[in-house]
Amino acid sequence: MNNILITGAASGIGAATARLFHQQGWQVGLLDINHQALAKLAGELGNVWHAALDVTDPAAVKVALADFCALHGGQLRLLFNSAGILQCGHFEDIELAEHARILQINVQGLLNMTHAAFPYLKVTPQAQVINMGSASGLYGVPHLASYSASKFAVRGLSEALDLEWAKHGIRVGDLMPPFVSTPMLNNQRFQAPVLRRLGVNLEAETVAQAAWAQTRSHAVHRPISWQFKLLYWSGQLTPVWLSRRIMAWLSREEFPGHL
């Protein structure tokens, strides 16, 4: 029986992925720091296994993985690292502690989960890790500097581990969507210019479908939406200076009296 453990499962992409995989007959495990919302989703899915978890706590991460995998003969078919946070704004206006928190959750939390999951993945046929990447991991995005940096780290880790863990039969990849309509994005007080120009054209369910497709793929990166696929593949061919100019235009701020 296939099983999946999802971080950041209480809402947005994590919740949409939990619903989809549950519908497909997978055994689903839910992790999130928001226990109230998590318990509500677990009840909706038929009281599936769930636990409140701060992914930045390595000891708690190990306990959660051990508890879930003990129910499945010590095996883990799929780890989906979906937990993450975002704050849009001018770099200097965001408190240093918030920059650190973004990196702590988006990068260190992912490291904690993936490192602790290895023993269970190693003994599971067709084991896989799917990391929640982003279009902002392709080229640094102004007004999302720390978030963008965190997604560059996710991209690099996915590439490295997919090669390193191939000898164990473990596939590692990431999903790279542009802006997705989730509470994390919709509750932002600062609207980045790039967001206004590109728009928010994806729903969480579309990303969940991409996660499902990734389970049957050996691709390391999965760009999502035709708009970003075009940018992604053209970025493999165009020089860096052109990518920089495109991003500068997309992120240009407009001021009263200026065209």
Active site residue 147: yes
Alpha-carbon torsion (94, 99, 101, 107), positive or negative = positive
Q: What is the dihedral of CA 191, 193, 195, 199, to 10 degrees?
A: 110
Tokens (6 digits) for 118: 């290895």
**Distance, CA of 164 to CA of 167 (rounded, Å):** 7
Annotated catalytic residue, options 120, 139, 147, 232? 147
In contact, 176 and 222? CB cutoff 8 Å? yes
**Distance, CA of 110 to CA of 114 (rounded, Å):** 6
**Distance, CA of 35 to CA of 173 (rounded, Å):** 28
Catalytic residues: 147
